[in-house]
Amino acid sequence: MASKRSCGLATVAALLIGYFNCARAGTVDFDAATVADLNQAFKAGTLTSEQLVQHCLARVEAYDRQGPKINAVIMLNPKALETARALDAERKSKGPRSPLHGVPVLLKDNFDTFDMPTTGGSVLLENWIPPDDAFVVKKLRDAGAIILGKLNLSEFASGTAHSSLGGQTLNPHDLMRTPSGSSSGTGAAIAAAYAPIGLGTDTGGSIRGPSSANGIVGLKPTHGLMSRDGIIPLALSFDTGGPMARSVYDVAVALGVMTGIDSADPATQKSKGKFATDYTRFLKADALKGARIGIARDFLGADPDVDWVMESALESMRKAGATIVDVSFPKWLIDSKPEFYAAVRRPEFAAQISQYLAATGPAYPKNIQELIERSNDVRSLRPGGAGPNPIRWNLFKKEAESGKLDDYRYLSVRDHALPMVRAVVEGILAAEKLDAIVYPTSSRRPPLIAEAPPSPDSASAVDIANLTGFPDLIVPAGFTTDDLPVGISFFGPAFSEPKLFALGYSFEQATRVRRLPVNTPQLENQSVTVP
């Protein structure tokens, strides 16, 4: 295995060789270049995939390994440049496979990869290499995407933005603040422009919290729209993967590549006849005109700066032609949702992690009890930075004690409470004839790392999307007075991704508030020449 510390494949100096010297064309800052921009540059010959990978590796070297040491990357793919060169040759001889041909993608390290370890960020799975790719990872490779590397996360996708193998990930906007979890590495890496696209997973807000905290776009898709095969499970009733990027366009183009029915994941049958393979066709700059948008004011009031950004966002929507309607969720739902979530999430992990661990070799733990036992043997930091993770490992014990999947406490919530929550949300949307409900993705600005809670913000609405299985699109909305990003969620009914993309894109084009974090600025000569 190429280690976290030894796998720096490029230096900044390696990039400063003859980039994009086309004086007759315009240039776009690297962090602002969309996949559409990259494809124009590829077509014009002002950019190659090899050069693009070198750009990404230079930023990892400058900001993850050195400088602020964001610590988002667990490992880089040692064959990334070789793959890029092969895809450049294929583009010349056969043309591109898809819009993602030659585009680097970073993966949260709970997606299986046949050629790199998949650890869940845990020393307990260190060096484990799965026999094949996760379904969506294979779809990406088949589309010509380059898997650039694996990213740090909250260990086993739960707890704070810290793992026993990868350590603490920092927020590139403020190194003292949390990047949120559990897709912490993806949020920080994409914000810092380590790659155009990243994958996260979301069980209780784990794509959306990091998207908001790091000031990027992210999608928690409808449950069943993306296969979970080959993803380390946290709770399959809620689990989903999802794309994260710096623009709505890039999230849309990535999603279209990864949808499809997977015989290994029965949940994808729900998407039959409902998924698209090109979501970019739904992007409309004027989609807010005539739209009816509900504002969930139940989730305002926790942070005056966040509230101000939300009110400003609503005013932007009104100016774009939208009608804004105040909506409220029942108090019993707001009060009960954390308990509903825990009643399903904890026992499912205890049962389902053993199914995943069964495929690992004899050196690895095989169930929740063995995870607990082996965690007790890790008592101090290692020279490379790996070490104990008490917050996550103590949660193992709570998961082990949470009951079986035939327990009435679990079944009553899964079979009765979750359908009830879905009915409430569908009722609100229908009664007010809403195209979407919006709310602050995180009700408060990103907290200091030392003060970060081990679970999602209970004052936020993010877990309602998991309890219902409905989609939630996060778009940057603005910044607080201390220059921290605030995200807005566009939440809708099942398989409403086309509508959410249209609304989110319209809002993004009207506001354009995303920016490169202050701790990971543009590197010299990093721009893309677009004809």
Residues annotated as catalytic (active site), given as ranges = 108, 182, 206
C-alpha 384: how far from chain center: 26
> Parallel, antiparallel, or unpaired: how do β-strands 146-151 and 167-168 relate?
unpaired
Instruction: Give the containing element (helix H, strand E) for 490.
Output: strand 485-491
- Tell me phi and psi for residue 158, to 5 degrees: -150, 150
CB-CB contact of 434 with 327 (8 Å): yes
- Tell me phi and psi for residue 419, to 5 degrees: -60, -35
Residues paired with 478 in a beta bridge: 486
Distance CA 121, CA 126 (A): 8
Euclidean distance between the first and final Cα of the chain, in Å?
41
Distance CA 42, CA 30 (A): 14
Nearest to 120 by CA among 203, 60, 10: 203
Instruction: Give the containing element (helix H, strand E) for 311.
Output: helix 304-319
CB-neighbour burial class of residue 76 (10 A; exposed 0-12, middle 13-18, buried 19+): buried
Distance CA 5, CA 385 (A): 10
With both helix axes pointing from N to C terminus, report the angle between 368-375 and 390-400 in degrees, rounded to the nearest 10: 150
Instruction: Give the containing element (helix H, strand E) for 507.
Output: helix 497-511
Nearest to 459 by CA among 469, 470, 445: 445
